[in-house]
Structure 1
């Protein structure tokens, strides 16, 4: 008999564990379905080029569209020995993947990333900055200005975090949740490793990846503008609690 265990809901999809082996996902909105299909083409091609396991989804059912991949066993990353080296090597390998080949398999291309970034940042200027104290709003505008001209030059995971880096048996097992993958700024994938995961991880990642001061500075700026995405998403879905929480993430200037 098939067993189904609900794993949770993200911004774009719901997930279940089936028979303890398969992760199945369905889109929360119709506009998400094309990306789920893209994952079934992009990720199996990407996986052999990376030093850590990533999902290799296939279409399991059409109505509703359901994609499935084998479970990558592990728990969200903690302070594991060697974590930073493994993550740094993974990110370096990902950013070395041929971007043209990736976009031919459905990865959003640089021009799409740039257009979306401009639209998001325009909205942040209009909908977020006015809610902040004057000094904090000016601080946020400075960071938005820094990032508007950031490159979209490599394949990025786009949401690399402790929740999406899995560890198992004392090592890094894999990287999941590729819903934000696109052509993007390499600094985007360095936000968590450099500025949120702790000093040891940051040192290891910097050494393994070869992080420059410019990359580290942009990664910090991406972290600083992060609450804007949560605030506007909360506005869109009517989640006032998320909006209120995200407003507290800005520093007091």
Structure 2
């Protein structure tokens, strides 16, 4: 979206039949601007051509997933592609999965992920979802870790860098059968009501790759009872658990890089704190 475009004018122009009184920004990130209209509609406006492609893939994929998952997913009723791309769906129930989680939450997460990961890879590829085999995945994460070394290592102590090298070395050991994954599953994208998972949003990063990435937060960022319930319901083995921990440890590194790229010191500081907290002892 060009920086000089007023998002509300854009929405009114692209969707002239859409009436709303209040607009609230709920995400103003590097990739997209996301607005909540009257607590009824969620409108997403990509900031770059690449992100427009991600959104178009999401719009194609979600109708195929809607009938196969145990939770709700966005149903895009508003789509405008000529000119500045923007799209919208009716706001889904629930709140981000940050508090009030319990064993039933974990059971819901395990069931959801098991169903998602059973989706036929051939069908996902036919819908334009990016595909990574083991070699392509290792190459991708090897490049990511190299970038982290270049940008983030100067902010760490020598001993911390050594421990980080041990984490990055895990890239060469990653082995898996490619499956369809959400690829950005965390508390902001899991919506709960009364401790039950009712919806999962923000599917633009969906790809075929290592299922352990979807389990990173579920097994390592939730209360122990939730994580145990996820593992039991999904059927997590030792290898899958180890890979999930690897991806969990990488999470804060992305936050540091985002802060450096956007000049927001608060993200750099909180990201470094997270990096240090997750390094192996």
Aligned to 2:115: 93
Aligned to 1:215: 240
Aligned to 1:133: 157
Q: Are 1:121 and 2:145 matched, yes or no?
A: yes
> 172, 192, 209: which is aligned to 1:167?
192
TM-score normalized with structure 1 length: 0.91
User: Are the structure 2 counterparts of residues 51 and 161 from structure 1 closer, same or farther at C-alpha, using a change threshold of 3 Å?
Assistant: same
Q: Deviations over 1:132-177 (max 9, x none)?
A: 2222112111111113442471111112112211112452211111
Aligned to 2:203: 178
TM-score normalized with structure 2 length: 0.82
| Contact kept in structure 1, 2:54 and 2:205, CA below 8 Å | no
Aligned to 1:3: 21
| Contact kept in structure 2, 1:234 and 1:240, CA below 8 Å | yes
Which sections of structure 1, spanning at least 5 residues, go unmatched?
none
RMSD: 2.1
Q: Deviations over 1:4-50 (max 9, x none)?
A: 42242244211122343321100122321111111110111122111
| Contact kept in structure 2, 1:4 and 1:16, CA below 8 Å | no
Bigger CA radius of gyration? 2
How far did 1:110 drift? 0.5
Q: Are 1:201 and 2:226 matched, yes or no?
A: yes
| Contact kept in structure 1, 2:94 and 2:198, CA below 8 Å | yes
- Does the residue aligned with 1:109 lie in a helix, a strand or coil? coil
| Contact kept in structure 1, 2:105 and 2:195, CA below 8 Å | no
- Does the residue aligned with 1:110 lie in a helix, a strand or coil? coil
> 263, 273, 278: which is aligned to 1:248?
273
